[in-house]
Chains A and B, each alone.
Chain A
Amino acid sequence: MTDSLSQFSVLALYSSMAVYAISFILFTLDLAGIGTAKYKLVSFGLSLTWVGFALQAAATVMRGIAAGRVPWANMYEFALTGTLMIVLVFLIVNLKWNITFLGSFITGFALLFLGLAATNYYVEVVPLPPALQSYWLVIHVFVATLGTGFFALGFALSLAQVLQERRERAVTAAEAKRWAWLSRFPDSVVLENYAYRLIIVGFVLWTFTLIAGAIWAEKAWGRYWGWDVKEVWTFIIWTIYAGYLHARSTRGWRGTRSAVLAMIGFASVIFNFTVVNIFFKGLHAYSGLK
């Protein structure tokens, strides 16, 4: 039962990756200017992203049922739930603001990460070690992955903002043709505003993650803060984003510079998830990889 369920989960995951791949192509073709009024590539791409999301959600839920716990207790499962959250935040935010121009980035990112997870991080379902048997696993890790979702969108918007700002300067300098695909994006001020409004949500979630992690560490390891490598990187990420928020109020740092900080922040999130989890030695040895 458990075995077949986790096999179904893998099947659903591969299906979702196939669907994301198609929507990635559609979004990208649209950015390249292929879409026309007649063939609405973007709306096709968006519908398929919802389908991919549903399949991935099914894969994640089945994995959780097979394991008899929340599906975020090792690298493979963190990657599964983490990308699910990124896609979810994208889809939900897209209901409010039209950000389909990020479709390529989001589906491409999900595809890449799920591919990495399926080939490099996959482990069979095993029971939780005593240190992870806590409701804080449910809260702390879930909020961290949700925060990651907001930071991911903040990254994409900040990157777009930086490129758009260059383009705007080029356009005023009358090199109008440069980077035509960016003409499908809003102007840089709007991008900056979107990025900011998502990153502050991510920052609040990250602050919560930090505090919840400390509460859990106190229970499981006997101290609320011990500069374990994972704690160090969570702190570094928090500090970078605090820097981002300050930069937006510091003369000369608004615009490109603060956007670069937001990008470094998300790069650190990814670093924390991949390199720190696998190669750094610490108490957070829960990747499940040997």
Chain B
Amino acid sequence: MSLQSSSTTVTNPSLGFVGWLRWFWRQLTSMRTALLLLLLLAIAAIPGSLVPQRAADPNGVTQYFANNEELAPVLDAFQLFDVYSSAWFSAIYLLLFVSLIGCVVPRVKYHWDALRSDPPRTPANLNRLPAQTEFESTDAPEVVIENAHALLKRQGYRAVRYDSAVAGKNRLTVSAERGYVRETGNLLFHGALVGVLIAVGFGGGFGFAGQRVIYEGQAFTNTLLAYDSFNPGRWFSASTLTPYTVTLDSFTTVYEEQNQNAIGQPTDYTANVTTQLKGEEPTQAVIKVNEPLRFGDTDIYLLGNGYAPQITVRDADGGVVFRDTIPFLPQDTNLTSVGVVKLPDGLPEQLGLVGFFYPTVSEGHSGAYFSMYPDLIDPLLSFNVWKGDLGLNEGVPRSVYALDTTSMTKLTGQKTALDSLELRPGETVDLPEGLGSVTFDGVKKFVSLDIHNDPAQGWVLVFALLSLGSLLFSLFIPRRRLWVAVSPSGTTGSIVQIAALARGDDATLGDRVRELSDEMRKPSKT
């Protein structure tokens, strides 16, 4: 036997490897490793709060690159702008969960066996236990032990009798245990955490998140092409999009008018929409900031809003070359907004109009306009006109919210001979160089909708609540073993010994022993 084992360890390196793996697995699933990985995870999460993250704040990242030209690429190499999807962060939490599973599975087996077996035999020496007491009774040992047995059972203990003879004297004992649900709760808690992780991964993989801007009167059709931006999960398939349309009927904003400290602060946003599943009747619905619309397997959120001026451009002969409603992006709390009109066709040259919209216009000391209130009280639209190549034919995707002026000349506004074009609703002004005219027909409101689908979101919640519920059992149900041992004293009396042992934290162990002894010493109520 010894010969065999020593020869295998020497000649067979693969056993050494397996042994090494075993050792590694034991280390990984040890309590100390779990603790270190937890602390490491906490530390690893910190940098993502110090540096802007692509997923949460892409503009912040762009700006960070612009402000820190040298540092940013270095940080990027360490994935510091994508901390929570980085290789190192993932490695930590995956190791932690492997450790968790490796730690919990054997405990499930052990606990399963414990649940179906009797409490262990009463130790021979109860004096060594952390909490114990002793008293004498005038009742016979058999009476005392049967009382104790019944009492413990009534208190929710699993209790069994173990009797033995010690030095010719009968030693009658009860071994009792309670609080198995503490361990059950603990195992469920850890299992539910695994459930949360899996559900999160699953939802991210099969779901999607998209954005779309629509103005009053405009409809959105739920197809891939209709989204302004779209982030599918890894396994997302476009065929799962439910065909429906959402039309923005009206959008209302309420601004504070009474409170002097908050004039103009928005207090309510309401989007009234008409929704229609393909082939079904249209229905009315409302979307508010804290009240998303759950419709057609998607959740539709109201995340932004602003003004969309309606603009008509005519050529020198009065023919309409452009008529559209253009969402302008808000720049401040009083909704000074910026937008772009691109005119590639219909005029002798390509034109770009960079517009500023002021819902309630006011003039600063320098002569520059600003908006002093977010509602439409005295709206003004101003344009700077650019002439030249819009760059639309180069196959490069261009933002509809920005004008690339590298091959364009400015015709109006600052540093030109002409003033910016200024229009109030209903007004028409001529374009420079006799190119035609622009009309400001009116203003609509637009909303920016986030449209999501996360098929596992409900499961994440279920597992999270399961972990919270089982945590309560794991933390607040004490688990302890109690023993009562009775030996004869004199001819009819008994010596009673009570002892207890806690598994996990239980500061009230001593009290429980004392209470049990008080109970047992009460004159029996027969």
Contacts and interface: CB of A to CB of B under 8 A. Distances in A.
Given A239-B45, A250-B32, A276-B49, A224 B460 contact: yes
23 contacts: A124-B261, A127-B267, A128-B267, A129-B265, A129-B266, A130-B266, A130-B268, A130-B289, A136-B290, A200-B475, A204-B468, A204-B472, A208-B468, A218-B457, A219-B291, A219-B292, A221-B301, A223-B452, A224-B460, A227-B55, A240-B42, A243-B38, A250-B35
B213 interface: no
Interface in B10-39: 31-32, 34-35, 38-39
Contacts of A229: 49
B184 to A, nearest CB: 17
Nearest to B203: A224
A204 B259 contact: no
Given A127-B259, A200-B476, A239-B41, A215 B461 contact: yes
B256 interface: yes
Interface stretch (A45-53, A173-181, A230-238): A230-238
Contacts of B277: none
A50 B460 CA distance: 43
Nearest to B253: A130
Instruction: List the 9 closest A-B pairs by CB distance, nearest first.
Output: A222-B301, A126-B262, A130-B289, A124-B261, A239-B42, A222-B450, A134-B290, A243-B38, A232-B49
Contact of A243 (B39, B60, B303): B39
Interface size class of A (residues with CB under 8 A): 35 or more
B309 interface: no
Q: Among B34, B42, B265, B269, which residue has the most Cβ atoms of chain A within 10 A?
A: B42
A171 interface: no
B44 to A, nearest CB: 10
A119 interface: no
A235 B292 contact: no
B259 A125 contact: yes
Interface string A236-270: 10011011001111111100000001000000000
Contacts of A282: 56-57
A227 B56 contact: yes
B349 interface: no
A239 B38 contact: yes
A125 B38 contact: no
Interface in A79-121: none
B45 A236 contact: yes
A91 B122 CA distance: 43
A286 B450 CA distance: 22
A127 B262 contact: yes
A265 to B, nearest CB: 9
B52 interface: yes
B46 interface: yes
A44 interface: no
A133 interface: yes
Nearest to A249: B31
Interface string B387-427: 00000000000000000000000000000000000000000
A229 to B, nearest CB: 4
Contacts of A228: 56
A227 B269 contact: no
B465 interface: yes
A103 B467 CA distance: 35
A220 interface: yes
B266 A227 contact: no
Interface string B200-241: 100000000100000000000000000000000000000000
Given A204-B471, A211-B468, 11 more contacts: A127-B262, A130-B266, A133-B268, A193-B507, A196-B505, A204-B468, A204-B475, A221-B303, A222-B452, A226-B55, A236-B46
B45 A235 contact: yes
A214 B49 contact: no
Contact of B259 (A126, A226, A240, A276): A126
Contact of A250 (B31, B57, B84): B31
B312 to A, nearest CB: 34
Contacts of B475: 200, 203-204
Nearest to A281: B60
A130 B39 contact: no
B464 interface: yes
A236 B31 contact: no
Contacts of B505: 193, 196, 248
A225 B209 CA distance: 13
A125 B475 CA distance: 41
B49 A280 contact: yes
Interface string A169-206: 00000000000000000000000010011001001100
Given A200-B475, A215-B461, A246-B31, A126 B49 contact: no
Interface string B437-470: 0000000000000101000010011001101100
Contacts of B290: 130-131, 133-134, 136, 216, 219-220
Contacts of A239: 38-39, 41-42, 45
Interface in A127-153: 127-131, 133-134, 136
Contact of B267 (A130, A208, A224): A130
Contact of B39 (A221, A225, A240): A240
Contacts of A220: 289-290
A95 to B, nearest CB: 17
A131 B289 contact: yes
B73 interface: no
Contacts of A224: 457, 460-461
B313 to A, nearest CB: 36
Contacts of A283: 56
Nearest to B96: A239
A243 to B, nearest CB: 4
B53 interface: yes
